Structure 1
Amino acid sequence: MNTSTETPLTEQVTGVIKQNWNIFFLAILIVSMGQLSLGLIFPLLPWIQKDFSINQSLAESLIVSYLIGYGPSQLFYGPLSYVYGRRRVLLIGLFLSILGLGLLLYFHDCFDLLILARFIQGIGGGCESVIARAMLHDSYKNKFFLSAMTGLSIVSAFTPIFSPIVGGLVNHHFGWLAVFIGLFVYSALGYLVLVFYLPETLSKLRASIPVIPIFNYYYALLKDRYFLSYTVIGWINWALVIFSGSLAPFVLEDQLHLTSENYAYWSIVPAIAFLLASWLCFVLRKSYGTHHIVFIAPVIQLTVVVIFLLFPLTLFTVTLGFIGIAIAQALIYPCSQSLLLVPYSNKFGTVSALSGAGQMVFAAIFIFIAWRVHLDNVHALAMIVFITAILGLALAIIGKKSVASASLENG
């Protein structure tokens, strides 16, 4: 597990690209479809709220309904892909997701049907992350697997931070419906690429789905301190990114009076910070090891809390705080995911499905509760960042002292 931390960065990157480079980039394409379905929507929320004359909490249901559909469906896509193959299950799921987008475009003037269409899109999209990770596990059976997983995790975390740039600009010039049209076109073109170029990566299919052993293994994982430590770190930090991403347009456009175009340009700053921090993550892994990096992010997050609470609400302080959130996410998310998944390599699909399902459901519940209790300002965000930092630090300590104990015979 520590091999990649001892391998030079250039060798890690070239090794991942040389070995099954097509699978790696197709996995990035697959994951990007789901992440764009979140990140592109954040800057649209204030405008959808105004067009339908609804409150801020109801506008957020476009995010929540997608996550509720996306999360639990992963528990089924993972096991099904072992029986019917990664390719077939992925293409069916993506078709359902594109169908949901099509329904959204057709019924774009009815908000209730928008929510239903987003839910259907989420159910189909649940195949993306879990099967993309499983494809990498099928294809990288050596020291470069951890690097490939880290790269995919960086893309997963970066896309919701980067995509508001595109969503904001398109919304400013063409309206929010044009963003969904663009997402539909991108997903459809990506689907065609996968139809023609994605091979089956699973070498041997199973005859049936061992339902009872799978759920027994889920139960074993939920009692495993190592699994819980690093998966919950991923959950709370992902929820923080989704919440801060959905809050940002309301703070910047409604409270600081930025236009949607200027908001899009503002989004470039945390995106660049994330990219630089992702490079730093690779460097620090080589010098200090993956375990130690997860301790750095909480310190950065506590600094963000100080900025939000002690300084007045200005564009500069908000930008500085969001830069800190982006840097912390770039460091902690890929490392926590790598530490989570590698020890359970023999049950990778099951572990990935449970972790991914919990991540999306947790984020959906968290956002729903946050908006219900009116956590809709920078001070509320500071409180959430503080809780995330303290929990992350505690869980990192527990994880470092724990061993992955879930029995491999249970699944």
Structure 2
Amino acid sequence: MGISPEAPLVTQVKEVIKDKWDIFFLTILIISMGQLSLGLIFPLLPWISDSFDINQRVVEWVIIGYLLGYGPSQLIYGPLSYIYGRRLTLFVGLFISILGLVIIFLFSNEFYCLVIGRFIQGVGSGCESVISRSILHDSYKNKFFLTAVTGLSIISAFIPIFSPIVGGLVNHNFGWVAVFNVLLIYIILGYLVLVFYLPETLKTSRDKISFIPIVLYYRDLLTDRYFISYAIMGWINWALVIFCGALSPFIFERQFGLSSEAYAYWTIIPAVAFLLSSFLCFIFRKSYGTHHIVFIAPFIQFVVGLLFFLYPSNLFIITCGFIGIAVAQAFIYPCSQSLLLVPYSNKFGTVSALSGCGQMISAALFILFFIYAGFDHILSLAILIILTALIGLILAIIGKYSQAYAMLNTTD
């Protein structure tokens, strides 16, 4: 790549896409399969609840089951991809994901089969995040890798915010089962595209991998102040967005009386806000530094929490609040992911797998705990947002003054 790493970030992004556009867009295809499996489902939850005559706590297992399968499986796919290659490991995972959707297709009239199918789908989808980032790591070097993975992180955070538009419209016109059918068709078509066009990017495979050093490295990471600060920052903010995605259909369709179609159109608003804020994030990172951007999100979230407390029944204010949540996520998620990966580039796969596992499990536990604790309305959501803001601010301070940050700051 002939461009200097000191060039403007937007120029770097253009060069990243231009240099290996096929690899970059294939990783987008890979990551979209897992993220669509979350975002498309959010608008369906009230309808699934009514269809099976179950309450909100039970129907959330459609999301929780997927996350519990998705998270831990990432710890397995990372090491396996170094032995069997990126392609084979990815195709095995996607096949498992398709198997889970086939179970849902065949037994959609049984709720327990729906949850089992979602769990199996999650186990398969765990390959997508790890393998897509590993492919970028194989293909891009130095700061260009950081630019590529930041772009991929923005897209992976954007899809669950944008995809409820599609899910809500399909649900409104064809019913909630049709959304899973659309998802199945999409993943099968994506699978075929990858079979024909995805090259093997791992240059040298390994005969075997000892899992004991990997487990010990996981332990070391979980005691590393720098890793913990930026990892948990990403986890709790991701968990908040997923929780809001799982809760918002019930808020807007049942508390404010929006139809499924109207809710689908409403989701365009925070999706556009996220997209525009992502571009601002790219600009601000070059001017002020990635480590400073992560301090913006907690203040936005704190304001949103106050608005929810003061105006819990005002649809316009609540919409502005969800815009604020999207903007905060656009700033904090790609930046926290970039800061997390830079100091551990020699152990990228392991760090990415552990980070992804924690991200999904934390989101599942977030939903499980707070939904069962009765946090199912705007006022309780305000408490969670303010709590997330305070924790995020503390973690940003800890990360900034950690030893790894000091080393990163002197080398950049």
Give the TM-score category using the shorter length.
over 0.9
Deviation for aligned residue 1:20: 1.7
Classify 1:304/1:115 alpha carbon distance in 2 versus 1 (closer, same or farther; 3 Å): same
| C-alpha contact (below 8 Å) 2:85/2:200 kept by paired residues | yes
Structure 2 counterparts to residues 7-86 of structure 1, below 5 A = 7-86=7-86
Tell me, which stretches of 5 or more residues in structure 1 are unaligned? 406-411
Equivalent residue of 2:143, what SS?
Answer: coil
Is 1:263 the counterpart of 2:263 in the alignment?
yes
Bigger mean CA offset, 209-218 vs 36-45? 209-218
| C-alpha contact (below 8 Å) 1:36/1:160 kept by paired residues | yes
| C-alpha contact (below 8 Å) 1:226/1:399 kept by paired residues | yes
Classify 1:77/1:312 alpha carbon distance in 2 versus 1 (closer, same or farther; 3 Å): closer
Percent identity over paired residues: 66
Classify 1:90/1:4 alpha carbon distance in 2 versus 1 (closer, same or farther; 3 Å): farther
Q: Which residue of 2 aligns with 1:284?
A: 284
Is 1:186 the counterpart of 2:186 in the alignment?
yes
Structure 2 counterparts to residues 128-277 of structure 1, below 5 A = 128-277=128-277
Is 1:383 the counterpart of 2:383 in the alignment?
yes
Deviation for aligned residue 1:142: 3.0
Deviation for aligned residue 1:165: 0.4
Question: Which digits, 9 at most, give the CA deviation of each residue in 1:281-315, with x for residues without a partner?
Answer: 00100110100000000010001011101124121
Which whole-Å CA distance do the structure 2 matches of 1:324 and 1:310 have between them? Answer: 15
Question: Which digits, 9 at most, give the CA deviation of each residue in 1:8-66, with x for residues without a partner?
Answer: 13311221112221111111110100000000000000000001000101110000000
Q: Which residue of 1 aligns with 2:408?
A: none
Which whole-Å CA distance do the structure 2 matches of 1:311 and 1:37 have between them? Answer: 32
Q: Runs in 1 of length 4+ with deviation above 3 angstroms?
A: 3-6
Which whole-Å CA distance do the structure 2 matches of 1:211 and 1:218 have between them? Answer: 10
Question: Which digits, 9 at most, give the CA deviation of each residue in 1:90-118, with x for residues without a partner?
Answer: 01000100110011110000001110010
Question: Which digits, 9 at most, give the CA deviation of each residue in 1:306-338, with x for residues without a partner?
Answer: 110112412101100000000000000000000
| C-alpha contact (below 8 Å) 1:7/1:286 kept by paired residues | no
Aligned AA (1:99): L
| C-alpha contact (below 8 Å) 2:129/2:356 kept by paired residues | yes
Deviation for aligned residue 1:397: 0.5
Which whole-Å CA distance do the structure 1 matches of 2:127 and 2:103 have between them? Answer: 19
Aligned AA (2:117): A
Given the two structures, how large is their TM-score scaled by the length of structure 2?
Answer: 0.96
| C-alpha contact (below 8 Å) 1:19/1:140 kept by paired residues | no
Q: Which residue of 1 aligns with 2:126?
A: 126
Q: Which residue of 2 aligns with 1:408?
A: none
Q: Which residue of 2 aligns with 1:330?
A: 330
| C-alpha contact (below 8 Å) 2:302/2:385 kept by paired residues | yes
Given the two structures, how large is their TM-score scaled by the length of structure 1?
Answer: 0.96
Q: Which residue of 1 aligns with 2:409?
A: none
Equivalent residue of 1:82, what SS?
Answer: helix
Q: Which residue of 2 aligns with 1:409?
A: none
Equivalent residue of 1:205, what SS?
Answer: coil
Q: Which residue of 2 aligns with 1:299?
A: 299
Deviation for aligned residue 1:238: 0.5
Classify 1:384/1:391 alpha carbon distance in 2 versus 1 (closer, same or farther; 3 Å): same
Deviation for aligned residue 1:4: 9.2
Deviation for aligned residue 1:167: 0.4
Deviation for aligned residue 1:7: 2.8
RMSD of the alignment, in Å?
A: 1.2
Which whole-Å CA distance do the structure 1 matches of 2:403 and 2:95 have between them? Answer: 40
Classify 1:142/1:18 alpha carbon distance in 2 versus 1 (closer, same or farther; 3 Å): farther
Equivalent residue of 2:163, what SS?
Answer: helix
Classify 1:189/1:106 alpha carbon distance in 2 versus 1 (closer, same or farther; 3 Å): same
Deviation for aligned residue 1:403: 2.6
| C-alpha contact (below 8 Å) 1:9/1:283 kept by paired residues | yes
Classify 1:4/1:104 alpha carbon distance in 2 versus 1 (closer, same or farther; 3 Å): farther
Q: Which residue of 2 aligns with 1:400?
A: 400
Deviation for aligned residue 1:5: 8.6
Which whole-Å CA distance do the structure 2 matches of 1:245 and 1:4 have between them? Answer: 40
Which whole-Å CA distance do the structure 2 matches of 1:365 and 1:312 have between them? Answer: 25
Bigger mean CA offset, 25-34 vs 8-17? 8-17
Is 1:107 the counterpart of 2:101 in the alignment?
no
Question: Which digits, 9 at most, give the CA deviation of each residue in 1:117-144, with x for residues without a partner?
Answer: 1000000000000111111111001321
Which whole-Å CA distance do the structure 2 matches of 1:360 and 1:104 have between them? Answer: 21
